[in-house]
Amino acid sequence: MGLEDYSPDSWPAEGRPSARGEDNEASAELIERVLAICERHYAAVTGVSSEQWDQATREVVSIALRTVHLAERDTYYPKALETYLQTHRARLERLWRRYGPGGMYAGELVLIDLPACFVLCERIDNTPVSLGGIWTREGQEEIALERLQNAWLYDTGEEDGR
């Protein structure tokens, strides 16, 4: 599937991310694969790279992966995430310019400092209710996800010219 073919409607039924989370832990290997994808795109967008991200980043990826059906996690999801991040590169760059260090709203989004924020953006677009429920159950700061969600959904569109 090429970038021009990307849309949730074009995903095979068995590969479509779940609107309802499986709520099971993802494997450590899958967490590392998804984190590597996020880190690569994060470095490309932000110019910030690191060989090692803290445990909080892995925890965020783990929570996000719990919103993906078990059958889709290992085979389909990493490719779908990669395509999503490539497709939404300009939006991710706008998010970083506005909320990253030196941006107009620097300090507003605590999650912007984690490469895992990119998988959260994808999950916000595809499974927001499931993500919010699991996020809350895991005891994460609700306002942090809410602020990222608002920024991603309402401050990164091309039409706003920012």
Domain ranges of the chain: 3-13+24-160
- The DSSP string of 69-124 is -HHHHTTTHHHHHHHHHHHTHHHHHHHHHHHSTTSTTTTS-GGGGSTTHHHHHHHH
**Which residue, among 95, 96, 118, has the nearest Cα to 38 in the 3D structure?**
118
Distance of CA 9 to the CA centre of its chain: 19
pLDDT in tens, 48-98: 876 656 778 889 999 999 999 998 999 899 999 999 999 999 999 999 999
pLDDT in tens, 142-161: 999 999 999 999 998 775 44
Of 10-14, 31-35, 56-60, 137-141, the one with minimum mean pLDDT is 10-14
